[in-house]
Amino acid sequence: MVFKDRTAAGQLLAGQLSCYADCSDVLVLALPRGGVPVAFEVAKELDTALDVFLVRKLGVPEQPELAMGAIASGGVRVLNDDVVQSLHLSNTIIEKVAAKEQQELERRERLYRDDYPAPEIRDRIVILIDDGLATGATMRAAVRALRQQDPAQLIVAVPIAAPGTCREFESEADRVVCAETPHHFFSVGLWYEDFSQTTDEQVCNLLKQATNCQTTASHSS
């Protein structure tokens, strides 16, 4: 199945997460930027809060699309040992890339959250969403970072994933929801008609909309 765009993918994914609708202890967290439009639709359908969890891929120099690992909020770093060892990447190279990505992570944290504190994770059901899983490096870093904050349950949910990667997360998360796991996967972008880059402005607008929806709902209840 090819999705029209991330909005359509989020609507489909929301249907597979309907059992969490109207649960007061559920929190939907998106991996920016591409995960935000997907997660927005899920949070809207479930009538629950939406926030972001910042993760940055550590791309191999000269091959930035190849992930040698990732960093996440809270100082968590996950390395892909196979990539690091096969390319003989030194600690100096890893530290240089990590320092650059840490700056971008902190920039986005300030921009997206606008000085609002990060949401409480402890004892909540956290649904962690991205627009797809290829190697899973960024999602894995996010899962390990969130585990340190003691959620009651941690659910990884994506519209599209490589079958092997989806299976790997069964040992990382309490539940994994991969709406589609095509045998011939290749890359996330192939499964979207529109896979244009999500902008910072779109992320901020969607987070603002989600906050307004929750505020309106709380006032009317």
Quick one: pLDDT band at residue 218, thresholds 50, 70, 90?
low
In a domain, 77, yes or no: no
> Could you tell me the CATH number of the domain that includes residue 29?
3.40.50.2020
N- to C-terminal Cα separation, the chain: 38
Residues for the chain: how many in total? 221
In a domain, 169, yes or no: yes
- Quick one: CA dihedral 172, 176, 181, 185, positive or negative? negative
Contact 40, 47 (CB under 8 A): no
What's the mean pLDDT in 168-185?
Answer: 96
Residue 132 or residue 55, greater confidence? 132
In a domain, 170, yes or no: yes
Sheet holding 76-79, edge to edge: 55-60, 63-72, 76-79
Full residue range of the structural domain in which residue 16 is found: 6-53+120-220
In a domain, 166, yes or no: yes
3-class DSSP assignment, residue 144: helix
In a domain, 22, yes or no: yes
pLDDT digits (tens, 9 = 90+) for 35-92: 999 999 999 999 999 999 998 989 999 888 788 988 888 788 888 899 999 999 999 9
In a domain, 41, yes or no: yes
In a domain, 215, yes or no: yes
Q: Please count the structural domains in the chain.
A: 1
pLDDT digits (tens, 9 = 90+) for 89-110: 999 999 999 999 999 999 998 8
3-class DSSP assignment, residue 86: helix
Q: Give residue 101's identity as a one-letter amino acid code.
A: E
